[in-house]
A = this chain, B = another copy of it.
Amino acid sequence: MKRGVVVTHIGRADPREVAALQQAGAATVHEAQSRLGLLASYMRPIYSGAAIAGSAITVLVPPSDNWMLHVAVEQCRAGDVLVVAPTSPCEDGYFGELLATSLAARGVRGLIIDAGCRDVRVLKEMNFPVWSKAVSAQGTVKETLGSVNVPVACAQQIVHPGDVIVADDDGVVVVPLATVSRVAEAAQARLAKEEKTHSVLASGTLGLDYYGMRDKLSEKGLRYVGSIEEA
């Protein structure tokens, strides 16, 4: 929570583990880390179908001022994801085609912004995915400093630089750098288990039976009655 600071060296996760998290997707990763780290559900993709994972470059920005985004570009490497949080709530369009062009030129995988973005048709054509709080043509000024690569509170979660972001149509999850390896493994294990469960349920077996829920439900007092009058 310092203004006017750019941290130039950050840790990044092993690309194979990032790939494993991306494959698992936001919902499975969220489950795999005990249902922690999900950004608020108002963070929606500007187009459907995108699915990414990458190391967070974080940016703290003043309201209606996107100056620090230009500073942040230089700190990005291939495989990174830009994560932008305003110091006070704002839905203006901090980000558009030109910044996306710069990020794409550096191999950045996408943008997570707890504010607005614009040029959404072009971003879709560029295949540059954005998860944002709003779409807004409202531009911003370049007057006040923020910071790059400091911890930020983005859409109700803490994101540290270097944490791994997993984003798809279900939303955005942050995985702390120190736990990436463990979470990636757990997510892959869940995937395998879900696949098996999927085929059982597809065959018509009830979850009630497959998960063995009937006894516990009965114990809690669940009653089956023929009609509402008997309830």
CB under 8 Å from chain B, chain A span 52-109 = 62-65, 67, 70-71, 73-74, 85, 87-93, 96-99, 101-102, 104-106
Most chain B CB inside 10 Å of its own CB: which residue of A49, A201, A213: A201
Give the number of copies in the complex.
Answer: 6
**How far is it, in angstroms, between the C-alpha of A103 and the C-alpha of B158 when the chains are bound?**
27
Contact in complex: A88, B92 (CB < 8 Å)? yes
CB under 8 Å from chain B, chain A span 134-150 = 134-139, 141-145, 147, 149-150
- Measured as residues with beta carbon below 8 angstroms from the partner, the interface class of chain A is 35 or more
Contact in complex: B119, A170 (CB < 8 Å)? yes
A145 CB contact (under 8 Å) in B47, B156, B168, B217 = B217
Contact in complex: A144, B145 (CB < 8 Å)? no
Contact in complex: A93, B198 (CB < 8 Å)? no
